[in-house]
Amino acid sequence: MERVSTGVEGLDRMLNGGLIKGRTYLVKGCPGAGKTILSILFLLDGAKRGENVLFISLAEGVDEIRENMNYLGLDVSGIEFIDASPTGDKTIFGDLFFTSFDIDTQGFKSMLEARFDKSAPSRLVIDSITMLRVSAKSEMEYRRDLLSLIGMFKRFNVTTFLTSDIYEKNVEDYLVSGVIELHMIDIKGKILRGVRIAKMRGIEFDDTMRPYKIVKGGMEVYSDLSLFEER
């Protein structure tokens, strides 16, 4: 099985060499945990290898994302962005995608599929899948639509990151091939950041929560340290 780097060396070590190409992974964390930063690093790694990479923002405006990445010293010019956030122009998807700012997931899939037929990216980020969940009429509809999306990504051999603001285990945790959790823990007024691999099909992985930092240039994961002392 071909492996794909996450773009973060320490996280790749936790995964014993990276992700499996062509599968879909969930990145979970509260706002500010670094989900978008990790996703950008994942795409930048692909862009450096000459791959076609795509970031679709459903929540945050793309201009703001670019500004935030520029502040971290990350050149995102090699990444194609689609601003499908409520403040974006949304013209690439047209009326099929948004109806009064509600996301039509089936329309979203149809437009992505048409795009992939012309030029499929090798790496894709959808930030965040939470927007698709809240727009679904029912849990069953959301499960069906998400399963259909993941099946399409697999068919086109696209390695995909889906981000989520929800820590609790939900249907997407069961449908994806792997789950990476970014934790922010307040201990006596000090924020500790820890990354944990909660699930990873087909890979032997380190499930210990390891400390990480958001730094200039992106993110550092300290795979040789434990966030908490073992007793």
pLDDT in tens, 171-222: 899 999 999 999 999 888 888 999 999 999 999 999 999 999 999 999 999 9
> What does the pLDDT read at residue 229?
58
Instruction: Find out whether the peptide bond into 5 is cis, omega within 30 degrees of 0.
Output: no
Q: State what percent of residues in the chain have pLDDT above 90.
A: 63
Going by pLDDT thresholds of 50, 70 and 90, the confidence category of residue 103 is low
The reported pLDDT for the residue numbered 110 is: 83
- CA dist., res. 107 & res. 143, Å (int): 16
Share of the chain above pLDDT 70, in %: 91
Q: How confident is the model at residue 28 (pLDDT cuts 50, 70, 90)?
A: very high
3-state secondary structure of 176: coil
What pLDDT is stored for residue 87 in this prediction? 66
Contacts of the segment 11-17: beta carbons below 8 A, 24+ positions apart: 11/38, 11/180, 11/195, 11/221, 11/223, 13/206, 13/221, 13/223, 14/195, 14/197, 14/205, 14/206, 14/210, 14/221, 14/223, 15/197, 15/200, 15/203, 15/205, 15/206, 16/203, 16/204, 16/205, 16/206
Q: Given a cut of 80, is residue 77 above it in pLDDT?
A: yes
Please say if the pLDDT value at position 26 is more than 80.
Answer: yes
* Predicted TM-score of the model (pTM): 0.90
Report d(CA 150, CA 228) in Å as an integer. Answer: 35
State how beta strands 159-164 and 24-29 pair: parallel
What's residue 92's pLDDT? 43
CA–CA separation, 224 and 109 (whole Å): 40
Look at residues 151, 137, 124 and name the one whose alpha carbon lies nearest to residue 57.
124
Domain 3-221 has CATH 3.30.420.40: no
**pLDDT at residue 95 above 50?**
no
**Confidence tier at 102 by pLDDT (50, 70, 90):** low
